[in-house]
Amino acid sequence: MERIESQAEAHAHDSRLSRRSAAVQAAFFLPYLRPGMRVIDVGCGPGTITLGLAEAVAPGEVVGVDIVEDRLHLARAAAEERALGNVRFEPGDIHHLPFRDGEFDAALVHGVLEHLPDPLAALGEVRRVLRPGAVVGVRSPEHTQAVVGPAAPWIEEWLTYFLRVGEADGESPQIGRSLRAIVRAAGFGRGVGTASVETYGRPDESRALAADLVQLLTAGRFGDPARAEVGAFIEAFRKWGEHPDAFWASTWCEVVGWVD
């Protein structure tokens, strides 16, 4: 099962998720969608990517699924605001999706597998709800391959610490490089792998990223914030977020596969 976030962690996570869009985060997947398709977005969060998928396949239907109910409330409100009638949001666990076999023409799994102890089993469940000929798009980060400036010793220390904590929690911070193998092992054929980079290079972007990470650290996601090591990271991120030259680039790996 996916690790359950604390309320403070979820708030920081939601702040970042709300800035996502299909045009950016699902750019690798959009070319394979067509009007009239039925699509499932697994781990949809607040629905900002899901709404873009709904626009791409209209009048087809998109169903967003997430294990966190509060995010679904945000998603439904956003869909109503944009007057999108071909999208709906339901609670659900990627390990036990509440749908029959072969219900969907396409599935997006964005930013999910890296949080799971058994990503292969989870992706196998996604395959179950796809019909023959359907397409899947999977995207996960390689967090430890970030490019961060200005260069400083604390950055490498943070990336190493991040990796250690994630793996101790049963997560896979370096799953991106293995996505093609996981997609193939889950029963999808013709896997096509690509990569993209998300950047935080404007003052508002670097401040927002720093604020999210500080909130995660103070919430205890990476250990007791009273510990000297964690406290040092909190202070480093606060200073980095305000630095006029702050820059962060995250590597994301992507795979498109088909149900043969």
Confidence of residue 73 (pLDDT cuts 50, 70, 90): very high
Residue 4: per-residue pLDDT:
47
Residue 17: per-residue pLDDT:
67
Residue 36 has pLDDT above 50, yes or no: yes
Q: Identity (one letter) of the amino acid at 65?
A: V
> What average pLDDT does the segment 72-98 reach?
96
Residue 248: per-residue pLDDT:
97
What does the block give as tokens for 234?
Answer: 């909190």
Residue 26: per-residue pLDDT:
97
* E-strand stretches of the chain: 39-42, 62-66, 87-91, 104-110, 130-149, 189-200, 247-258
Residue 8: per-residue pLDDT:
47
Residue 177 has pLDDT above 70, yes or no: yes
Residues contacting residue 57 through CB under 8 Å, at least 6 positions apart: 33, 34, 35, 36, 37, 38, 39, 86, 106
Residue 86 has a CB neighbour count (10 Å cut-off) of 16
Cis bond before residue 150 (omega within 30° of 0) = yes
Residue 19: per-residue pLDDT:
79
Contact present, 255 and 110 (Cβ < 8 Å): no
Residue 6 has pLDDT above 50, yes or no: no
What residue ranges do the domains of the chain occupy? 7-258
Q: Identify which of 13-22, 32-41, 160-169 has the greatest average pLDDT.
A: 32-41
CATH of domain 7-258: 3.40.50.150
**String of b and e for 6-36 (b: at least 16 CB within 10 Å)?**
eeebbebbbebbeebebeebbebbbebbeee
